[in-house]
Amino acid sequence: MYGLVNRAIEQLVIAHRGEDGWARVCKKADWSDEGFVAMQTYDDAVTYRLVGAVSEELGLHASEVLKAFGEYWILYTAEEGYGAMLSMCGNNIKDFLTGMNQMHARIAVTMPNIRPPHFTIKEVGENELNLIYESDRDGLAPMVEGLISGLAKRFGQRISIELIQAKSREAPKDVFRILILD
């Protein structure tokens, strides 16, 4: 993944555990503490190792770390020069998610090696959506939950989100049910 992702993990850890905590995470993840270049790509294994090490450092399950990271990503990217792009994509969950694939496609103009996820939105009821998440990576569904919660916070909306179908060999896509409560 692009270094931007690993840098966000670094910032999240520093915010909670300081520079010493980050140094411990790097050691556990077997990564020299040299920092990441935002626009350079790194092996996905580095990101997964970092998540594992953060989970040990914070005493949280990896899924909780990914959830927290997803929420943080919304704040982080807004601060790291992508605020206008986030604003352009809408001011509510439904509009925003409908334009998500185009948003990553625009990002791909400056990050040509990006392998973004693919989202499909199905309107189930007036305030109920199914979000289908497809990725060639595994295990990132909790991050999607965190991202959606982060977006809801950004828009001041109350939502509930639940994984109703997990990716498996029989069902190649994760499906979330999102209720928009107000």
Judged by CB under 6 A, the residue of 14, 75, 107, 180 near ligand HEM is 107
CB of 56 to ligand HEM, least distance (A): 22
Torsional class of 50: left (φ above 0), alpha (ψ -120 to 50), beta (otherwise)? alpha
Per CB under 6 A, which of residues 77..106 are in contact with ligand HEM? 77, 82, 85-86, 100, 104
94 Cβ partners below 8 Å, 6+ apart?
121, 123, 129, 180
CA angle 77, 138, 63 (to 5 degrees): 65
Strand partners, 121: 131
CB of 101 to ligand HEM, least distance (A): 10
* Count of Cβ atoms closer than 10 Å to residue 11 Cβ: 16
Q: What sign has the CA pseudo-torsion 157, 162, 164, 167?
A: positive
CB of 62 to ligand HEM, least distance (A): 15
Shorter beta-carbon distance to ligand HEM: residue 55 or 77: 77
Judged by CB under 6 A, the residue of 9, 68, 71, 135 near ligand HEM is 135
Judged by CB under 6 A, the residue of 53, 66, 140, 159 near ligand HEM is 140
CA distance 7 to 91: 26
- Determine, following the binding rule CB under 6 A, whether residue 117 of this chain makes contact with ligand HEM: yes
- Determine, following the binding rule CB under 6 A, whether residue 6 of this chain makes contact with ligand HEM: no
- Residues at the site binding ligand HEM, with contacts judged by CB under 6 A: 1-2, 4-5, 77, 82, 85-86, 100, 104, 107, 111, 114-117, 135, 137, 140, 143-144, 147, 151
